[in-house]
A and B are shown apart, each in its own frame.
Chain A
Amino acid sequence: MKQIETEILVIGGGATGTGIAWDAALRGLRVVLVEKRDLTHGTTGRYHGLLHSGGRYVVKDPHSAAECIAENRILRKTHAHCIEDTGGFFVATPEDDNDYPDQFKAACAHIGIPCEEISVAAALKREPLMNPHARRVFVVPDGAADSFQATHSTAQAARQAGAQILNYHEVVQLIVKGGEGDRRVVGARVRDVARGEDVEIRARMTINAAGAWSGVVAQTAGVRVDVIPGKGTMLAVNHRVVNTVLNRCKMPDDGDIIVPIHTVAVIGTTDERVQDPEHLTIEPWEVELLLREGDKLIPGVSRARFVRAWAGVRPLYQEHYSGASRDATRDLTLLDHKTRDGVAGFLTILGGKWTTFRLMAQVTLDKACEYLGACKPCLTAQTVVPGVEQGHYWLGHRLHEVEENHLQSELVCECELVTRAMLENAARSNPTLTLDDLRRDVRLGMGPCQGGFCTYRAAGILHEMQVNSEQLTVNSEQLEEWSVAYMQSPAHNAQSRNTQHASRITNHQSPNLLLRDFLQERWKGLLPILWGRQLKQERLDELIYLCLMNADHLPDENATSPLSDFYSRPGISATADQGGAP
């Protein structure tokens, strides 16, 4: 069995895990991160994209709100290009409690969240679709964050500082040494999912940042961690119906926020305590509730075209808690299993939110360093990740670059303006991947046609790259590291394409499975919102993949691989089947 020695082993490739790897590497520690699928595959890649100002929790959870505003200020510098400075409104609609706005204003002042009340007329001038019957509007420094790009950028910063990041490596078992009273986690046996081989990673400190899956990981060391998995469902409107984050000015509840992010606007969220973080179903009542609540912020938004619904699981934690997940604290919690369970060398970090991932990493490493002895202080608040020189994200950047550089003919995905070079560079850097992984990298298939055109093109392009790499003999060391900082930039990728071995790839997934699995993954998120024009669009996609391609009768149509198993699992309840997919 392959063995790796390190000082710190991080489990989980979401925002928190990569943040921990980055922090550890900057402190001069040797660190290895394992993620069972691709980076951001879990909760990080399934949230609405809000960079909290703290306003949302300022009355209910002031401690958490204070953390948010502090981290908001830091991330705007360290991850500038991953953030769109949309600003946010807190809108008191006629439905909402009349006393709350004054409490809200006072609480913001107390904690130091910049909060300015503006007239409803001024708010409507900025957001014409907002409910004109709103009573009061407050402006706060909310923002929109690209959690895919931010996590990739953090991971690259970590790699540059010496961290090793292994995606598609799933923990099989934590390795525990010693007997009763003297137990210690000394690393983990992990499975390289793509190769089907096990790897043993030995570490002085193992950090469980598996989020909603933390309980499963801890259990392999005989440690009980009862995560409160709070499922949040979100809907994406096909248009940027707002350019400012709209929150209801009231205690946080279901469906009370709309976040403009990239080309869409996201209505969020519900909060349902669930049993299993892996198999999430989106219930029709959740969709109805989000539409109904969305109409209160933007009248008529329920009649807009929706392109997708999805759900993520908040890894909330409260010791001995049995209430509703909506009421569980959003505070971060660090479990030191030595003092809690008598198992040394093992920490679990839970709670928090995307906005506080850096702080969560800092708190975790501070504790780890107590045990490991001398290490440098935390540097992440003062260190920027690659790509910040681009400044904040703005919606027109891809179109601008495509037009400036005449890249129209290179577009593989017209909806999201993904060029062939962007796709190739992303594919080359990811040794093991599915089209869904490429989606998270470059937003392939995230627009109105939901993969109708680009699924075929991407499968064709990846296959061409596979064929080329059989013909070429190039050392993998000869390839430059992919600059994730610019992974979403058509112009940058067009330039780098000429200097690299443009068409080589190490991935050997069958193109037929890539195609089938991506269509299935897109289908899963479409089902809850298929009606009207999106239903018509879906029928066109059927015309393309059934009548034109006959892609449901390809060779290896029923084949499986460790990577594609995931996509054949049921994930919805809005179906004619009782049992879901096999």
Chain B
Amino acid sequence: MSDLIVIGAGLCGLIAAYTAARAGKQVKIVTKGLGATHWHAGSIDVLGYYPDDATPVMRPLETLHDLTRARPQHPYAILDGTLSDALENFASLTRELGLPYAGAPNSGDNLWLPSPVGAARPTFPAPRAQLAGDLRRAAPMLIVGLRGMRDFYPELIAENLSKQGQRARAAFLPLDLITDRRDSNTAQLASALDDPTRRAKLAAALKQLAQPGERIGIPAILGMDAHAAALDDLQAQTGAAIFEIPTLPPSVPGVRLTNALRNHLRQLGVRVEINADVIGFHAEKDRVLWIESDASGRPLKHRAEKFLLATGGILGGGIDSDHTGKVWERVFDLPLAVPREREQWFRARFFDPAGHPIFRAGVPVNREFQPIDAQGARVYANVWAAGNLLAHADPILERSLEGLAIATGIAAARRAVK
């Protein structure tokens, strides 16, 4: 029997499990899949655009004060100002993991990093390999693609960066510098660059292309397991600052972060049961006694003192819906805050700055991060919820996806093990 079962292995679930394990608790993760982190850019978005009016946010922690006042139900508002602690926690954890994250040189500023289409992407701490792409710096950029790689378009990136006042040009290298396979995805390319001889070839070719003073942007494939060494080698051998630009999923920086966290959890004695879709649970009075996961042969029971739900929202699979307009939380069938009619789910423009109301659907919680019903009463005494499952935020629209996952994951886990 575990002290705490965390359901879900996305960034939120992993961080929550880490927090509880560090507090000395026996923790198990029960999860259907690996979470959505493999699809993320790998940096930590905290707040990029203010909800409702979509104005760009320059200093997220400061803007958060306004947000907390204006939207007391927003998950960030429930944190009671502990977001910066959470981010410091995360930063020190990443140093332990050997995958250090850092923020803008002017502490407290959002970083503005080039996206794979050449837009300026607001994000807060980012992996070391993305920092040299900060668009607040003046140095010109050389964006290098690999001819034949279908998920990276350097000409497009350079042109859009130029339109925004960043000096940038594009160049190509042949894909066979890295691999003989033509059908490699980004994860396979990254693993190929774990090999020092291959990245030496890449470094030599980059050095030929770059002019003095240029920083070099490449697709985020710079090593998987040996990423730190790969980045150091490439910078040393080219003599240039190198930065990675995240790609379409699978996004290597997201995969690296997941892998590092899972390895670390293993060392802390946390079991991660993957392929364990939760299909049932049993509660008596106001306590959940066990959950049941789908397994070959028969359902498997998992008992714990406490349960922390980090199954994600519509994207992560924590919330499902059907054509009748019914929307439900998939594990405990918890009450949801959701637009009443299907007709109110969407706006007519895909890029509407106000977003689509359905994507704010989620589990409402009290200040202890415990799910509540429409009257505000706690549903179960031993269930907590965190991350993108929470109601009253659209983390993709406001660019708070990872920040919200980390901060609420830590906060909910702390309250659960208190």
B251 contact from A548, A550, A571, A572, Cβ within 8 A = A548
B314 within 8 A of A: yes
- B248 interfacial contact with A, CB 8 Å: yes
Known: A411-B150, A520-B350, A552-B351. A543 touches B39 (CB 8 A): yes
Q: Would B322 and A549 count as touching, CB distance under 8 A?
A: no
User: Is B159's CB within 8 Å of the partner chain A?
Assistant: yes
Indicate if B401 sits at the interface (CB-CB under 8 A).
yes
Out of B39, B56, B164, B181, name the residue touching A540 (CB < 8 Å): B39
Residue A527 contacts which of B120, B156, B164, B346 (CB distance < 8 angstroms)?
B346
**Contacting residues, chain A, for B69 (C-beta < 8 A):** none
When distances are taken between beta carbons in the complex, the residues of chain B under 8 Å from A291 are: 323
Given A549-B119, A575-B346, A539:B339 Cβ within 8 A? no
B138 at the interface (CB under 8 A from A): no
Count how many chain A residues have C-beta atoms less than 8 Å from C-beta atoms of the other chain. 67
Q: Which of B310-364 contact A (CB under 8 A)?
A: 313-315, 317, 320-323, 325, 339, 342-353, 356-359
B183 surroundings in chain A (CB, below 8 A): 408-409
A532 interface contact, C-beta 8 A: yes
Residue A520 contacts which of B317, B325, B351, B401 (CB distance < 8 angstroms)?
A: B351
Whether B151 is near chain A, meaning CB under 8 Å from some CB there, is yes
User: Which of B16-24, B91-99, B110-118, B284-292 participates in binding chain A?
Assistant: B110-118
Check A550 against B315 for contact (C-beta < 8 Å): no
Any B CB within 8 A of the CB of A226: no
Q: Is B160 an interface residue (CB 8 A)?
A: yes
Q: A577 touches which one: B118, B339, B347 (CB < 8 A)?
A: B347
B139 within 8 Å of A (CB atoms): no
Question: Does A195 count as interface, using CB distance less than 8 angstroms?
Answer: no
Q: Counting CB contacts under 8 A, is B40 at the interface? A: yes
Q: Does B193 contact A (CB under 8 A)?
A: no
Interface residues as binary, B248-265 with A (CB distance below 8 Å gives 1, 0 otherwise): 110100000000000000
Task: Give which listed residue, B121, B321, B347, contacts A535 with CB less than 8 A.
Answer: B321
Assess the A412–B159 pair: CB atoms within 8 A. no
Q: Measured between alpha carbons, how far is A302 from B246 in the docked complex, in Å?
A: 38
Q: How far is the CB of A547 from chain B (nearest CB, A)?
A: 6
Within 8 Å by CB of B156, from A459, A536, A544, A548, lies A459
A412 to B182, CA, bound (A): 13
Please encode chain A, from 464 to 485, with 1 for each CB lying within 8 Å of some chain B CB and 0 for all others: 1001000000000000000000
Within 8 A of B (CB), among A479-536: 511-512, 515-516, 519-520, 522-524, 527, 529-532, 535-536
Assess the A284–B314 pair: CB atoms within 8 A.
Answer: no
* Distance of A551 Cα from B121 Cα, bound (Å): 9
Flag whether A576 is at the interface (Cβ < 8 A): yes
Q: A520-B351, A531-B323, A539-B396 are in contact. Are A511 and B156 (CB under 8 A)?
A: yes
Q: In the complex, what's the smallest C-beta–C-beta distance from B127 to chain A, in angstroms?
A: 14
Q: Across the two chains, which residue of chain B brings its CB closest to A463?
A: B156
Interface size, B (range): 35 or more
Residues of B within 8 A of A125 (CB): none
Give which listed residue, B150, B155, B323, contacts A420 with CB less than 8 A.
B150
- Whether a CB of chain A sits under 8 angstroms from the CB of B198 is no
CB atoms of A555 and B339 under 8 A apart: no
Q: Is A570 an interface residue (CB 8 A)?
A: yes
CA distance A111 to B41 in the complex (A): 63
- A463 lies within 8 A of B119 (CB): no
Residues in chain B near residue A379, CB distance under 8 A: none
For B119, list chain A residues within 8 Å (CB). Answer: 549-551, 553-554
Q: Identify which of residues 345-394 in chain B touch chain A, using a CB-to-CB cut-off of 8 Å.
A: 345-353, 356-359
| Interface membership of B153, Cβ < 8 A | yes
Q: Shortest distance in angstroms between B396's beta carbon and chain A's nearest beta carbon?
A: 5
Decide: B347 and A532 in contact? CB cutoff 8 A: no
Are B156 and A542 in contact, CB atoms less than 8 angstroms apart? Answer: no
Question: B142 in the interface, Cβ–Cβ < 8 Å?
Answer: no
Residue of A nearest to B162 (CB): A555
Q: Is the C-beta of A393 less than 8 angstroms from some C-beta in chain B?
A: no
**Distance (whole angstroms) from the CB of A581 to the closest CB of chain B:** 4
Docked CA distance A544–B349 (Å): 16
Check if A555 sits within 8 Å of B359, measured CB to CB: no
How many angstroms from the CA of A549 to the CA of B251 in the assembled complex?
12
Instruction: Indicate whether B134 reaches chain A with its CB closer than 8 angstroms.
Output: no
- Cβ-defined contact, A547 with B401, below 8 A: yes
Q: List 12 A-B contacts (CB under 8 A).
A: A409-B183, A409-B184, A420-B150, A464-B156, A511-B156, A515-B117, A522-B350, A531-B321, A542-B359, A547-B121, A551-B119, A576-B347
Q: Top 7 closest A-B pairs, CB basis?
A: A460-B153, A409-B182, A523-B350, A550-B119, A555-B163, A581-B348, A539-B315
Name B residues whose Cβ lies closer than 8 Å to a Cβ of A.
36, 39-41, 45, 48, 56, 115-122, 148, 150-153, 155-156, 159-160, 163-164, 181-184, 246, 248-249, 251, 313-315, 317, 320-323, 325, 339, 342-353, 356-359, 396-397, 399, 401
Extra contacts besides A532-B322, A571-B348 (18): CB < 8 Å: A409-B182, A456-B153, A457-B151, A467-B155, A467-B159, A511-B159, A519-B350, A520-B349, A524-B348, A531-B321, A532-B320, A540-B249, A540-B315, A545-B350, A547-B399, A548-B115, A550-B119, A555-B163
Q: Which residues of A contact B (CB under 8 A)?
A: 284, 287-288, 291, 302-303, 406, 408-412, 420, 453, 456-457, 459-461, 463-464, 467, 511-512, 515-516, 519-520, 522-524, 527, 529-532, 535-536, 539-540, 542-557, 568, 570-577, 580-581
